[in-house]
A and B are shown apart, each in its own frame.
Chain A
């Protein structure tokens, strides 16, 4: 069993188990955390495949967005008992943080090992490191520039729509008239 294969199976199991955790955890906050774990696992898998840009984006966008989601869950819903269950006990807390640290270290080392030691076979060209990212950037701003621009419009639509939705009648920030 080579290091690459070992890393793949390790990351695959982490990803699948935490994905199942999202489904089966009764506590929404645990679910949100499992989702972060899944995202990180997927991004490590991307890194293993040599898609560093995708791995980075996965962490920044998804893990970041999931964190926002997590905060929203805590703010919007009344989850006092769930939050209490999560923060209960010093020993439990130490154990939790410790296990997160171990897992994070494992994943980090996994990424380090893959990027340095293991030769990754590309099907096409033998570009390594930042080259695919540069290629992607070039493509995005030349060949696919129209899609890029339309996605800009999409983001504005979502932003305006989200504000409008929260201020509409029955929304969380509705104006009190009537």
Chain B
């Protein structure tokens, strides 16, 4: 057997470019006598690498499209529709996260070169994860992605909460990975192969016959439930998202979720839920409870980051509905709905967390609803953008978030998941309150201490925050994208649908 053919290497070229490019900030730092190079320079290197990988990824996809065989490396990876949608989204989200990291006080300055390296390698893991057509590649992808993330959180300049978050995420994530691996072992024992393609073909038969295979699938799912923070494995989310530096929170809640859900969806293509009622019921309950746990948790939060963390749990619940639809056999429609939701949710959440990152005044600053009192009068454009993003997250009709929910709910109804849709609908009504609260604070509550003497330090922070150009760009761009795609939502839907 050949080591790897030229075609294989071309398929993997985005990965190579990403890895090689991720080394440049480190090399520059070493050549600079281990002194931190200019942050902007490191960021540009990261951005350049990501753009190169993005370009290659799209090229590879269209090359493979003409060959009609998306697989490479003895069917271990494939650049198909799911991979191209998820990977381009992840790369763009990483780009936005790098912008935020450059501006945020808890991530810029010292050790920014290492941070860029870790971010790019985390994205490398995501690409491997979304391209994976074999359980082994999938596991390795998850590990590369997560290990880089743990350390990204750990090297924050904030010394207490972020270290706690890193340790919590690391310990719980390791358990989840171990359980996932155990699941893969059980599946391999029954299937005789680790290929996801074979798994999806035989899953619906095996799940009824072999209890061990069912256990394997359950373990595999537990691993994923943890990664995408679904009930009962969602409790880490609030602490980790709050403790991590805001740019990393933005990165985790969007790109990691995108990649994990894409891989999760791949496994459900096998429509094995049709033959397994109890698993279908359990997954429906998980979805419904997740939506309520997320929204209920967010209700009582004043800390914006914590609130968005709980809201991301709720959004995972909605996406799980789409995954269940895929598992019931409506592969293409369900997949399109899931991908649509993931793409739109990623844009909204990235923008919202970029706004939080913009407001932070120091590396240990925590933004609560009190901090955004009367913001609309001080920064009308940003407050307006934030409002658009929040309305979209709430799923109010004209905004993009509504269409994501709409496609998922209609697909779920088509599959006869009446009760689940009803619960999810109720949950999103509750959820609307939490997103409207910050808007009320921004527009309707005046800042009381406007007449107080502003200290020198506060002025400095104000000046620094005014210079967060990249963060501002991310906020405005994501709000703009939401508005534009909100109008052209069918276009995006057909674009995604044509790929899947």
Contact = CB atoms under 8 A, between A and B. Distances in A.
B136 A147 contact: yes
A95 interface: no
Contact of A161 (B15, B151, B160): B151
A175 B110 contact: yes
Interface stretch (B114-122, B223-231, B319-327, B409-417): B114-122
Contacts of A147: 76, 136-137, 140
Contacts of B117: 157, 160
B26 interface: yes
Q: Which of A156, A157, A161, A165 has the most CB of B within 10 A?
A: A157
A144 B77 CA distance: 11
Given A142-B2, A143-B74, A146-B73, A161 B140 contact: no
B283 to A, nearest CB: 29
Contacts of B121: 153, 156-157
Contact of B76 (A146, A163, A165, A171): A146
A164 B118 CA distance: 10
Interface in A128-178: 141-147, 150-151, 153-154, 156-158, 160-165, 167-171, 175
Contact of B1 (A143, A165, A170): A143
Nearest to B124: A153
Contact of A154 (B72, B137, B143): B143
B12 interface: yes
A134 B136 CA distance: 20
B298 to A, nearest CB: 30
A2 to B, nearest CB: 25
Contacts of A175: 110
Interface residues on B, range: 35 or more
A157 B148 contact: yes
B140 A141 contact: no
A150 B76 CA distance: 12
Contact of B140 (A143, A154, A165): A154
Contacts of B1: 142-143
A142 B148 CA distance: 27
Main secondary structure of the interface of B (DSSP, over half): helix
Contacts of B160: 170
Contacts of A156: 121
A156 B148 CA distance: 10
Contacts, number: 92
A153 B19 contact: yes
Contacts of A161: 114, 118, 147-148, 150-151, 154-155
B173 interface: no
A164 B155 contact: yes
A168 B141 contact: no
Contact of A164 (B8, B76, B141, B151): B151
A77 B130 CA distance: 41
Interface in B60-96: 72-74, 76-77
Contacts of A150: 15, 124, 128, 137, 140-141, 144
B454 interface: no
Interface string B131-146: 0000011001101100
Contacts of A165: 151, 154-155
A103 B42 CA distance: 55
B296 to A, nearest CB: 34
Nearest to A175: B110
A170 B147 contact: no
Contact of B147 (A141, A158, A163, A168): A158
Q: Which of B136, B140, B157 has the most CB of A within 10 A?
A: B140
Nearest to A148: B140
Nearest to B194: A144
A151 B137 CA distance: 10
Nearest to B113: A164
B136 A144 contact: yes
Given A153-B121, A154-B147, A160 B140 contact: no
A144 B76 contact: yes
B141 A141 contact: no
B111 A167 contact: yes
Contacts of B26: 160
B124 to A, nearest CB: 6
A157 B74 contact: no
A153 B160 CA distance: 29
B463 interface: no
A138 to B, nearest CB: 8
Nearest to A170: B159
B3 interface: yes
B163 interface: yes
Given A160-B118, A161-B147, A164-B114, A145 B154 contact: no
B156 A168 contact: yes
B324 to A, nearest CB: 30
Given A164-B114, A170-B163, A157 B144 contact: yes
Interface string B152-167: 0011111110010000
Given A153-B124, A161-B118, A164-B155, 5 more contacts: A150-B144, A154-B140, A161-B148, A168-B110, A169-B156
The 3 closest A-B pairs by CB, nearest first: A161-B151, A170-B159, A168-B155
Interface of A: 141-147, 150-151, 153-154, 156-158, 160-165, 167-171, 175
29 contacts: A141-B3, A142-B74, A143-B74, A143-B76, A145-B4, A146-B8, A146-B12, A146-B76, A146-B77, A147-B136, A150-B137, A151-B140, A153-B19, A154-B144, A156-B121, A158-B147, A160-B26, A160-B118, A161-B118, A161-B147, A161-B151, A162-B151, A164-B114, A164-B151, A165-B154, A165-B155, A168-B111, A169-B159, A175-B110
